[in-house]
Structure formats: C-alpha cells, structure tokens
Chains A and B, each alone.
Chain A
Amino acid sequence: MPEVLTPEKLSTFTVALIGNPNVGKTTIFNRLTGLRQKVGNYPGVTVDKRYASLKIGNQSATIIDLPGTYSIYPNSEDEVIVHRVLNGLDKTSKPDFVLAVVDMSSMERGLFLVTQIMDLGLPMAVVLNMSDTAEEQGIKVKTHQLYKALGVPVIQTNARSNKGISGITDLIGDQMFEQPASFLESDRLLPEQLSTAIQERFSLTNSYQAYQLIRFHDKEPILSHEESEWLRQEIKGADFDIKSKQLQETQDRYAAIQQVLETVVEKTDMKKKRLTDKLDRIFLHKVGGYAIFLGILLMIFQAVFAWSAMPMDLIDGFFASLSASVAGLLPEGVLTDLITEGIIPGIGGVVIFIPQIALLFAFLGILEDTGYMSRVVFLMDRVMRPFGLNGKSVVPLISGIACAIPGIMATRNIGNWKDRLITIMVTPLMSCSARLPVYVILIGIAVPATNIGPFNLQALVMLGMYLLGVIAVLVTAWVLKLVLNFKERSYLMVEMPLFRVPRWKDVLITMYSKSKTFVFEAGKVILAISIVLWVLASYGPSGAREEAIAAVEVPADGASEEVMLDYQHNLESAELESSYIGIAGQFIEPAIRPLGYDWKIGIALITSFAAREVFVSTMATLYSVGSEVEDELTIQEKLKSEVNPNTGEAVFNLATAISLMVFYAFAMQCMSTLAVVYRETKGWKWPLIQTIYMTVLAYVSAFIAYQLFS
C-alpha cells in the first residue's frame, strides 16, 4: 500500500540574536546561516538588518542579527533598534525567541543584558561563547548550575572553531527556548499599585514591561496623547522617579548576578600576560601606532589600485566587445541601439567597480574583525576632537572611502548627536569608490604617466585627490563645530576587544554581500538613467534635428577619407547638439564655462547629480551615440581624442580635467546618500544644507582649480 503523505504545515518562527558588542554574535550568525543571508532595513530606519531563513526539519526559522548592546536602555541609535525589536515596536521583526550571546570571560556584564531580557518575559536561551579565551584566563562555568539559576537553556560554544554550533541548531530546531521567571522581584522596580494599573491599561503581562513603558513613553511615538497624559498623572500620583529607580535597578541587578556567578563560575588566577596587551604596546605606541595606521591605509590604497587594475581592464574590454558583438548579432534598429549604446555601456560602468569595492570592503572587514578598528578609535579620538569629530568618527570616514552610505550608517554607534551629525555632514566628502573611475579616466587623459623621482605622477595626483577629500572633511567639520551650537556633552566609551586572527570566511561573506548590495542598488539607478539618457540623446524637438543636420556642410564627391571622417564627426555632433539632452547641456553651459566645461560635460554633470558613477556611463553613451561600436575603443581613448569642433583643441586639457575632478570630489552627486542622510537625521533640513554647501564648495573650488591650471 502506498504511503499516504500528509503535507505538514511548515511552522515558521523568528529568533533574534542579542548580546554585548564583540561577543561573537555575528560569527554565530554566519556559522548558522552561511550565504543565505539577506540585508534589509528595520522598518523606518536605515540600519542594516541581517537576517536569514533557516530550514531545520520541517520548520523554517528566521534568524535576525541585532546590533551589539550593553543593556536594553539604549544610548546610541544602534541600541534603540534592539529596544524596539524586543518590545515589539517593530511589528514585522518581533521575535518569538531570543538567543542571548554572552562572552564567557566577562559573564557579569553579559548576564546584565540577559536578565533584563528575562524580566521582559521573552522565551530565550543563552549561549556562552568564546569558551577558549575564558579557559585561557582560568574561567570555568558550570553550565547546568547556570541553567538552574536562570531557568533558561545554556549552551557553551566557541563559534570561531565551530564548537557547539550544532547544539545551537538543534536548540533552534527543537524550539527549546524557555520563558524564565522574572530575575528581579517586581516590587523592587515599581510600586505594585502603579504596576497593576499600567499593566491593565496597556494589556501588558508583567511589571518590567510596565517599567519599560514609563522609561520610554516620551521617546517612542507609540502612545496616544491621551494615553501618555494618563501615564504622566499615574507616575506623578505614585511619586515615582524613574532616574533614581534605574540606578537602583542597575545595582540590584548586578548584586543578584554576583550571587549567581559565585555558584557557577570557578576561577583560577592566571598571571599570564595576554597577547593582546603585548600587541597593544605596539599598535597603540605614541609614534609607532600612528606609523602603523598610516602604513595600513597606504597598503589598502596600494592594493585597491594595483590589484584591481587587471580585472577592471578585463571587465572594461569585455563590455566593449560585448557591445560590439551584440551590435553584430542583432538586426539594426532602435532597440539594438538602445541595448548596445545605452544599456550595455551603462551596466559596464557599474560592473567595473566590483573589484575595487570588493577589495575595499574586504580590507575594512579585516580591520574590524581583527579588533584593530577600536584601536584606531583610541588613537584618533584626541586628534579628531579639535575638529568637532570623535574617535568613532574615524570608522565612518574610512568606510566612506568605499561608499558614503555604509559610512553614514556606521555613525549610529556614536552616542552623542552633535558628533554624529557633524560626521554625517562631512562623510560624503571622503573620496568614495564612485569617484574613482571619474578620477581614473580624467587622470589618464590629462596627466602624463611620467615619474617624479620614484613616484608615478598619475598615482601622486590620485593620492592628492584623496587627500583633498580628507582636508575638506577636517575643515568643514571644524566650521560646522563653530556654527552648530549644541550644548550636548561629547563622550567616548569604547571597548577594545582582544586581537584576533580574521575569520576569512566571514570576511568573504561581508565582501560578497556588501558588493552585491552596492552593485544592485547603484545598478538600478544607472540602468534607469542610461535608458532615459539614451532616449534624450537620440531624439530632439521636431524639426530642430533636421535643421541641424541640414546645416552641416556636405563635402564634395570624391573628397578624401579624412574629410569624410570629419563630416561624419560633425554630423554626429550636430545630431547630439540638437537632441533634448544637448539642449539641456547648452542651457547650463554659460554657468559652467568659467569652470572650463563645454555642453557635453554639462550633460554629464546633469545626469551624474543622481550618482557620480553615471559620469562614466554618460560619457560612454554620449560618445557612442551614432558612432561605430565595432572599433572597440574604450571610453578613455575616446575622450582623449575628443576635439572641440570650434577651437580644434582637445576638450580635456589639464585644467579642465583637474577642475572636473575637483568638482566631482566635492559635489553632492548621490541621491542614495541624500536619502540616507534624510532618514538618519529625520528630515530634509540637514540633507538640504549638505547639498547646498557641497555644491557651492564644488563650484568655487573647481573655478579656482581651472584658473590655476589654465
């Protein structure tokens, strides 16, 4: 008899990973989920939410990786997310279960967060991670005792060596999470009457939730006006002061944890000096520390340029020949033109970034993963302070070299608003990877590849462009510090984790997922613009095009090949000039002429206001329109040979190229950055101010550059 298969309903649930910073949460997440990860946004905010679906048996679990936090009372924006998720304020990501990760060698602090989550009443389990370092330091934990004390399952792991990971998978698969009893007695938190009243009114299930509501009711727009008014009256009536209560809670909680730890932790005193301490003597050295930091930065640049040159050339060549072969394959017509002259060069202009971006992200991932980034924060804090920045600003700024968007999102762990805002405002001035191809092309055109001493002149100019960005960051930050009058206290509290060997697999995962996000996000914009641009360049107001073509002098029969080529060129030029985009370019030409640009560059300026990388694809489109694609000329060679038909001189001379590079270094030409700044600053004020100051800075500096070099 055939077996009857009854389709089982796939049960789905969500598990949130929570823990202090640097306890190995992300390693566990990567071990559990591998390449299945997706990056999304938390509703209403732009911080990356990493999540992945995991199939275990006939169940499907969604695992969410939350930002590291020391308590459920948020200090920085990063931590607000944890608070929101735990309290179900983000309906879509409310977890069914919590997996709390604790560093086994600093359990006291880890359990502080764990017991807070326990008091919230969420079903949970505890992972004691980094058992190897704990053992090195003579720390042993009686897991079963801890289970008895807390009432939630406890697993010991060492995620780096994969030890205990299968235990976590089993635990998730069997849903062995347990809802613990409250850790702190509720009468220590709230007067019973007040607690009961609040629980009834807002249908909460325990005292700690009521306590949380009091703590956050004015920060979260979750309550109606009437509700928060009622709450205020109740608090006042009970004569309840949340601030002093919270200090009391903190002390009581630590005291209770101390009692638990006395029974579960065995510690033998090891006098061994930690390797990390020895390494810190080198990496944090007065002089040596900075030399190493500078050396690492230089090495990254060197690698990003040298190692990526070859794959980039290959990609460039590949798209040029792809365009040519597609043109040969498809029948001639409008659609073919759109594909070969608009879409393929447009996409090629994005794809060519992949090697550089992937490398940059890989290096940043390694710096972060080894624990070196927080040393940079330590080294740079005092240096950055006079500029209104802070040690933590260095991380967003360095990330900004890859892309301003992750950089601006990284400002979320800067606790105070003033430092954070200034960092957000200046981060887009760092020369991001989207500027790179613009620099590469223009330097290639205008700067000779000669050597000055041991240095290559082109490389020096490139370095100069990056330094220009850094100088602009510091000066602008300093000006903003003077202008913005905030009273808020600036502070720095940062933990320096143990130095570690980077987890190469994790670096690869980061590299892959970040590059993918970048390419697809940028790709969408570029593809859309490429198509619009091609249409606008191929069509013009009726009549204007015909007139322009008619105005070009037709050479006599039997004219030399040179004359015929010239005619061809003039014809293309006239066609483009009379197209919609040509008209737009000419419209702004008077405004950009003092900077040394013609109307074609004007077109590129207009289109690249959405994204800088569009400059290259615009150039590719503009200079392919109507011309033969079979010759497989790359963009750089095409631009180099571009001659102004009126003066007969090269369009891209040194002055124009430098001026254009300076313009691209400073102008706010990135819609995505604007969108992120809008969301991070919760309004249009700051993105607007940012756009204006950057555009003015770009125009004035480009003007000065042009005058200096021409």
Chain B
Amino acid sequence: MRTADTIQQGEVAIIDKILPSELTLNLMEMGFLPGKRISLLQRAPLKDPMAFRLGNTVIALRKTEAQLIEVILEN
C-alpha cells in the first residue's frame, strides 16, 4: 500500500485509510478523510514538507505525517 508521501507531482490519489497514531484525529479534522482525492502540489526545496491539494484547500504536511495517509492511485 502506498502512502501519501510517495505521490508524485501530477498524480491523483484517493485516500484509503488514515493509519492510527496520535495525529489521526488532527488529520481527519483538517479534512483528510477516506474517499477524498489528494494530489501533490509542491514539495518544499529540501523535499520536506509537502503541500497537498485536498478539495479546494492546500495543506502542508511533513513527510512523517504524509506517511500516515494510505492512498490508492487513480488509474
């Protein structure tokens, strides 16, 4: 299973599951929910953090947080 940190620019993925951790709730409250489409917008210059497009919002996460989001690539 891929996690969100492996999404490449131009790819669109569907969130499958948020892995259990102390940040699960925070991620869900910000809108990272199973079934939502997510894409990578920008990677910060040192490859971390990453800015994800989620619906109409852009949210920056570090690699370690992105690894909590399991995704299935579209197509």
Q: Mark B3-47, 1 if CB is under 8 A from A, else 0.
A: 000000000000000000011111111110100000001101111
Is A108's CB within 8 Å of the partner chain B?
yes
Complex Cα spacing A381 to B59, Å: 14
Across the interface, do B51 and A378 meet the contact criterion of CB distance under 8 Å? yes
CB proximity to B under 8 Å, residues A395-426:
415
Across the interface, do B31 and A109 meet the contact criterion of CB distance under 8 Å? yes
Q: How large is the interface on B (under 10, 10 to 19, 20 to 34, 35 or more residues)?
A: 20 to 34
Across the interface, do B60 and A247 meet the contact criterion of CB distance under 8 Å? no
Shortest Cβ distance from B21 into A: residue: A489
Across the interface, do B48 and A493 meet the contact criterion of CB distance under 8 Å? no
Is A246's CB within 8 Å of the partner chain B?
yes
User: Which among A246, A391, A496 has the highest number of chain B CB atoms within 10 Å?
Assistant: A496
Given contacts A73-B25, A491-B23, A496-B51, contact A290 B45 (CB under 8 A): yes
User: Which residues does chain A contribute within 8 Å of B57, judged by CB atoms?
Assistant: 106, 109, 495
Q: Mark A183-194, 1 if CB is under 8 A from B, else 0.
A: 000000000000
User: Which residues does chain B contribute within 8 Å of A246, judged by CB atoms?
Assistant: 25
User: Which residues does chain A contribute within 8 Å of B44, judged by CB atoms?
Assistant: 284, 378-379, 381-382
Complex Cα spacing A112 to B64, Å: 25
Across the interface, do B30 and A379 meet the contact criterion of CB distance under 8 Å? no
Shortest Cβ distance from A104 into B: residue: B56
Point out the residue from B28, B30, B33 that lies within 8 Å of A495, measured CB to CB: B30
Point out the residue from A250, A286, A377 that lies within 8 Å of B45, measured CB to CB: A286
CB proximity to A under 8 Å, residues B55-71:
55-62, 64-65
Across the interface, do B28 and A377 meet the contact criterion of CB distance under 8 Å? no
Shortest Cβ distance from A496 into B: residue: B58
Across the interface, do B42 and A381 meet the contact criterion of CB distance under 8 Å? no
User: Which residues does chain A contribute within 8 Å of B42, judged by CB atoms?
Assistant: 280-281, 284, 378
Rounded to whole Å, the gap between the CB of B38 and the closest CB of chain A is: 14
Complex Cα spacing A73 to B25, Å: 9
Across the interface, do A247 and B22 meet the contact criterion of CB distance under 8 Å? no
Rounded to whole Å, the gap between the CB of A370 and the closest CB of chain B is: 15
Across the interface, do B59 and A494 meet the contact criterion of CB distance under 8 Å? yes
CB proximity to B under 8 Å, residues A259-298:
276-277, 280-281, 284-287, 289-290
Complex Cα spacing A247 to B23, Å: 11
Point out the residue from A73, A108, A289 that lies within 8 Å of B31, measured CB to CB: A108
Q: Mark A476-511, 1 if CB is under 8 A from B, else 0.
A: 000000000000010111111000000000000000
Across the interface, do B62 and A491 meet the contact criterion of CB distance under 8 Å? yes
Point out the residue from B26, B45, B48, B58 that lies within 8 Å of A75, measured CB to CB: B26
Across the interface, do A250 and B29 meet the contact criterion of CB distance under 8 Å? yes
User: Which residues does chain B contribute within 8 Å of A247, judged by CB atoms?
Assistant: 24-25, 28
Point out the residue from A139, A382, A491, A493 that lies within 8 Å of B46, measured CB to CB: A382
Rounded to whole Å, the gap between the CB of A499 and the closest CB of chain B is: 11
User: Which residues does chain A contribute within 8 Å of B65, judged by CB atoms?
Assistant: 491-493
Complex Cα spacing A109 to B65, Å: 19
Shortest Cβ distance from A281 into B: residue: B42
User: Which residues does chain B contribute within 8 Å of A71, judged by CB atoms?
Assistant: 29
Across the interface, do B29 and A496 meet the contact criterion of CB distance under 8 Å? no
Q: Mark A98-112, 1 if CB is under 8 A from B, else 0.
A: 000000011011001
Complex Cα spacing A382 to B50, Å: 10
Point out the residue from B23, B28, B60, B64 that lies within 8 Å of A250, measured CB to CB: B28
Rounded to whole Å, the gap between the CB of B47 and the closest CB of chain A is: 8
User: Which residues does chain A contribute within 8 Å of B23, judged by CB atoms?
Assistant: 489, 491, 493
Rounded to whole Å, the gap between the CB of B1 and the closest CB of chain A is: 20
Complex Cα spacing A73 to B13, Å: 28
Across the interface, do A378 and B29 meet the contact criterion of CB distance under 8 Å? no
Rounded to whole Å, the gap between the CB of A376 and the closest CB of chain B is: 11
Across the interface, do B45 and A379 meet the contact criterion of CB distance under 8 Å? yes
Point out the residue from A277, A374, A415, A493 that lies within 8 Å of B41, measured CB to CB: A277
Complex Cα spacing A378 to B55, Å: 19
Complex Cα spacing A653 to B8, Å: 60
Across the interface, do B33 and A280 meet the contact criterion of CB distance under 8 Å? no
CB proximity to B under 8 Å, residues A63-81:
70-71, 73, 75
Point out the residue from B41, B48, B56, B58 that lies within 8 Å of A381, measured CB to CB: B48
Is A308's CB within 8 Å of the partner chain B?
no
Across the interface, do B49 and A378 meet the contact criterion of CB distance under 8 Å? yes
A to B CB contacts below 8 Å, 14 in the list: A108-B31, A108-B55, A250-B28, A281-B42, A284-B44, A374-B60, A378-B42, A379-B44, A382-B48, A491-B64, A493-B59, A495-B60, A496-B59, A496-B60
Please report A residues at the B interface, Cβ cutoff 8 Å. Answer: 70-71, 73, 75, 105-106, 108-109, 112, 137, 139, 246-247, 250-251, 254, 276-277, 280-281, 284-287, 289-290, 374, 377-379, 381-383, 391, 415, 489, 491-496
Closest 8 CB pairs of A and B: A382-B46, A286-B45, A496-B58, A70-B29, A105-B56, A71-B29, A109-B31, A378-B60
- 14 further interface pairs, Cβ-Cβ under 8 Å (given A379-B44, A492-B60, A494-B59): A70-B29, A106-B31, A112-B29, A139-B56, A247-B25, A251-B28, A276-B58, A281-B42, A284-B42, A287-B45, A382-B49, A391-B49, A491-B64, A493-B27
